[in-house]
Amino acid sequence: MAITLPLLILVIPLFMFLLLGLAGNKMSHRMAGILGCLGMGTTMVLAYIVSFTYFFSGNPDFVDAEAHTRLQWVVFNVDWLSFTDNLVIRLGFLLDPIAALLLVVITTISFMVHLYSMGYMRDHHGVWEKGFQRFYAFLSLFSFSMLGLVVATNIFQMYIFWELVGASSFLLIGFYYRKPSAVLAAKKAFIVTRFADLGFLIGILALSYYAGTFNFMDLTSSQLVSGAYQVNIETAENIKNIFATSAAPTFMGASVLTWALVLIFMGGMGKSAMMPLHIWLPDAMEGPTPVSALIHAATMVVAGVYLVARLFPLYLMEEASLEIITIVGALTAFYAAMVACTQVDIKRVLAFSTISQIAFMMVSLGVARPEFHHGIGYMASMFHLFTHAMFKALLFLCAGALIHAIGSNDYTDMHGLRKYMPVTHITFLIGCLAIAGIIPFAGFFSKDEILTATMGHSTFWYIWMSAVAGLTAFYMFRLYYLIFWWKEHKVREGHHAPHDQPWTMTLPLVILAAISCVAGFVPMGNLVTWNGHEMFPEGVSFFTNLKALDWTVACVSLAVAIVAIIIATVMYRKENPLPAKMKRALPALWDWCYHRFYWDELYMFITKRIIFNGICKPIAWFDRHIIDGTMDGFAIVTNKLSFAIRGFQSGNAQTYVWWYLIGVLALGGITALCLL
Amino acid sequence: MDISMIYYLVPTLVMFCCGIYGFITRKNMIAMLISIELMLNAVDINFVIFNRYLFPGQLEGMMFTLFAIAIAAAETALAIAIIINLYRAHKNIDVSDLTKMKF
């Protein structure tokens, strides 16, 4: 493959960012929007060409046809900073199954969001949102950073783009910078993820210090020798030896490798909103809804999952770290699902649902082992990442349409909208069915693979995750019924009756809904596996995924989902006192869920009471009194001294001559004494 | 030519000390300028003396004296210009009254 196409995928969004950011105010709103859409559309087409070439061309660079194995392919890799011979930071473009998959996901969702924002970012009278051009510039910046992240050839490049997506997320959450809550949310997101990235950076340094390389292909090669990616066997053996010997030193009972991996995972926890670093994601909903769909549902928040998947062969060397990932993921999934059942703001429900679904992916990676079904967990995780991006972006864009029509985020202002907004209704229903895991929608297949993988690892987590899957179906349909059914819609005073949106907003909904219907049939087992081996070497058809299902798991999860949906239907389809009764029956549980288990309050307590009082105030005192005091002391002494001696400068020339004469005589006298 | 060098050096030393004394005690700037000239001339004479006694047959000391006289002339012109300007501004050339340039 020529270098041009992959390079253009990165260059076009960057160029659009510069163009819209610098010249945006010179052009009309519509022009800026159309330019942004065109740029992203071109990028999407290019990404499709690159990915499809990678997956389906059969080029021997990309696939070893005899071994039924996909290969990693470095399109280009240039030295960027070379400190020493060993310490070189490169920027490059790595094409392998997960990168190709993510290219498709990111560009698709990004293009949909670009298109959708053309309609969303103007009000009912057609007045464009203030800062519309800036919005598109930031969207382009985000797309560029995210694409750079997924194609990184080394962990340092990934870190650079990792911070860039964090920065663009900050800018977009705080898009309405006149709104104090948006500013606070942006700050919170940035600080929490930065804190997590500190761990990530330490992890990178520890890992690369021992391994002697930043390069993903070298780092992961040791496990892949027996697998399939074509790797340099010498390097692989080398790194394996390094980890066997020099990583052996332990720190607080765990090897350096374990520490490095757990710290790197901490970075992933921050970006992917795993407990206890999840607190920023619900607040991030302060940003415009298309941004939530793009960044906080489909792409950036799965960067943590992507990171673990990228380093998966390393994680395999330390099973303990995988266990940690499983536990964190499972707890987060359950927690977020519980909270999602009680929230009133529809975007917050979706935010917690996102946290829960990302946790599913994490668990799936955590339980993935090569011995079980060729590491099905890895495949399932990436599969779920793909399908989840589609249906969660769909749900968020539907939520955006609702908010746009109603002018409020709370379902209490909605109710009974199915007649007013039929397109939104149908597409939202498809999204709900997909996330609930109803056959044949996308979520069913990917969630089923995850549950299969979990069962292969431990029955306990299997039951746990199945329960969470049931909760997922419940809260999604609770939301669905409360928005579209419950009771007749009451048009608020001074408002028009809500109606469906312009085509720029409808088209992305319809496309994403269509994708959510069929995405489950993508034979992911042949495209994305942990070591590149195809799972179905005999070839695939449209029904491969159906045939490969583990029907016991599938039936159980289907039954759980249907039961949950029935419960939701009974409780929320028509206005009835049942939900209120439930709430009164378990007031404590409801309270804890509604207040998100008081995590924010806990953080406030820790930061305000303990850190500010215990650490920051003494440091501030030290700074003000000791450090500033020393400096002030110098100034004061100099000042005093100067005042004391300034009388010498009397302005009387003859006095100076006296002093001069005395000085000369003294010097002369001393010289004479010394000579004699 | 058997007069010892000391007979020349003592008068120049007296001249030089008179210059210093005048410079310190006189308040009139013209008088101070004259004192400076006195010191300079004492030094010039010293140059000639040392040249004559220590390095006879060479001319460096003489040349230096001529040089110093020329520069002293220029300097005097400059000093008198300053004094005239001061006088125009202050109607006064008493150095003990001109103490503005201090802290």
Render pLDDT for B61-98 as a digit per residue (tens, 0 to 9). Answer: 999 999 999 999 999 999 999 999 989 988 888 888 88
Residue range A69-78: mean pLDDT, rounded? 82
- Interface contact A649, partner B, CB < 8 A: yes
Do A657 and B23 lie within an 8 Å CB cutoff?
Answer: yes
**Set of chain B residues whose Cβ sits within 8 Å of the Cβ of A650:** 99, 102
Percentage of the residues of chain A whose pLDDT score is greater than 90: 39
Q: What is the mean pLDDT of chain B?
A: 90
- pLDDT value at residue A89: 86
- pLDDT value at residue A239: 64
- Cα-Cα-Cα-Cα torsion A553, A557, A559, A562, nearest 10 degrees, comes to -160
- Interface contact A654, partner B, CB < 8 A: yes
- pLDDT value at residue A226: 45
Q: Closest by alpha carbon to A386, among A114, A164, A141, A109? A: A109
Cα–Cα distance for residue pair A137/A114, rounded to 1 Å? 11
Closest residue of chain B to A653, computed from CA coordinates: B95
Q: A449: how many CB neighbours lie within 10 A of its CB?
A: 29
Do A651 and B99 lie within an 8 Å CB cutoff?
Answer: yes
Cα–Cα distance for residue pair A168/A24, rounded to 1 Å? 17
Cα–Cα distance for residue pair B62/B48, rounded to 1 Å? 6
More reliable by pLDDT, A9 or A504: A9
Closest residue of chain B to A658, computed from CA coordinates: B24
Residue range B49-53: mean pLDDT, rounded? 91
Cα–Cα distance for residue pair A457/B65, rounded to 1 Å? 108
Cα–Cα distance for residue pair A471/A481, rounded to 1 Å? 15
Query: Looking at CA atoms only, how far is residue A642 from chain B in angstroms?
Result: 10
- pLDDT bin (cut points 50, 70, 90) of residue A317 is confident
- pLDDT value at residue A167: 92
Handedness of CA A122, A123, A124, A126 (dihedral sign): negative
Phi, psi of A343 (to 5 degrees): -75, 150
Query: Looking at CA atoms only, how far is residue A673 from chain B in angstroms?
Result: 21
Which range, A114-118, A369-373, A548-552, has the best average confidence (pLDDT)? A114-118
- pLDDT bin (cut points 50, 70, 90) of residue A233 is low
Do B103 and A649 lie within an 8 Å CB cutoff?
Answer: yes
**Set of chain B residues whose Cβ sits within 8 Å of the Cβ of A661:** 20, 24
Whole-number Cα distances in Å, A473 to A359, A448, B40: 16, 14, 109
Q: Tokens for A53?
A: 């070439």
Look at residue A304 and tell me whether its pLDDT is greater than 60. Answer: yes
- pLDDT bin (cut points 50, 70, 90) of residue A228 is very low
Amino acid at residue number A439:
I
The tally of CA atoms less than 13 A away on the side-chain side of residue A369 is 16
Residue A290: which residues within 8 A CB-CB, separation 6 or more? A113, A116, A117, A120, A121, A396, A397, A400
How are beta strands A254-255 and A250-251 bridged, if at all?
A: antiparallel
Residue range A102-117: mean pLDDT, rounded? 92
**Set of chain B residues whose Cβ sits within 8 Å of the Cβ of A652:** 95-96, 99, 102
- pLDDT bin (cut points 50, 70, 90) of residue A248 is low
- Residue the block writes with tokens 């330019």: A35
B 67-96: CB under 8 A from A:
95-96
**Set of chain B residues whose Cβ sits within 8 Å of the Cβ of A651:** 98-102
**Set of chain B residues whose Cβ sits within 8 Å of the Cβ of A649:** 102-103
- Interface contact B100, partner A, CB < 8 A: yes
Do A646 and B103 lie within an 8 Å CB cutoff?
Answer: yes
- pLDDT value at residue A651: 81
Do B95 and A657 lie within an 8 Å CB cutoff?
Answer: no
Q: Tell me if A329 sits within 8 A of A433, measured CB to CB.
A: no
Amino acid at residue number A461:
W
Residue range A345-364: mean pLDDT, rounded? 92
Do A653 and B98 lie within an 8 Å CB cutoff?
Answer: yes
Do B23 and A658 lie within an 8 Å CB cutoff?
Answer: no
Residue range A174-197: mean pLDDT, rounded? 91
Closest residue of chain A to B17, computed from CA coordinates: A661
Do B98 and A654 lie within an 8 Å CB cutoff?
Answer: no
Reported pTM: 0.80
- pLDDT value at residue A520: 85
Look at residue A65 and tell me whether its pLDDT is greater than 80. Answer: no
- pLDDT bin (cut points 50, 70, 90) of residue A59 is confident
Q: Which of A647, A654, A658 sits opposite B95 (nearest CB)?
A: A654
- Interface contact A642, partner B, CB < 8 A: no
- pLDDT value at residue B17: 94
Q: What is the mean pLDDT of chain A?
A: 86
Residue range A254-272: mean pLDDT, rounded? 87
Look at residue B1 and tell me whether its pLDDT is greater than 60. Answer: no
- pLDDT value at residue A235: 59
Residue range A609-632: mean pLDDT, rounded? 92
Whole-number Cα distances in Å, A19 to A26, A122, A137, A173: 10, 22, 8, 21
Give the pLDDT confidence of A462-507 residue by residue, as tens digits.
Answer: 999 999 999 999 999 999 998 888 877 777 766 677 777 788 888 9
Give the pLDDT confidence of A420-455 residue by residue, as tens digits.
Answer: 888 889 999 999 999 998 888 888 888 988 998 898
**Set of chain A residues whose Cβ sits within 8 Å of the Cβ of B23:** 654, 657
**Set of chain A residues whose Cβ sits within 8 Å of the Cβ of B100:** 651
- Cα-Cα-Cα-Cα torsion A314, A320, A325, A328, nearest 10 degrees, comes to -160
- Work out how many CB contacts closer than 8 A connect A with B: 27
Residue range A519-533: mean pLDDT, rounded? 82
DSSP string, A401-465: HHHHHHS-SBGGG--S-TTT-HHHHHHHHHHHHHHHT-TTSHHHHHHHHHHHHHHHH-HHHHHHH
**Set of chain A residues whose Cβ sits within 8 Å of the Cβ of B98:** 651, 653
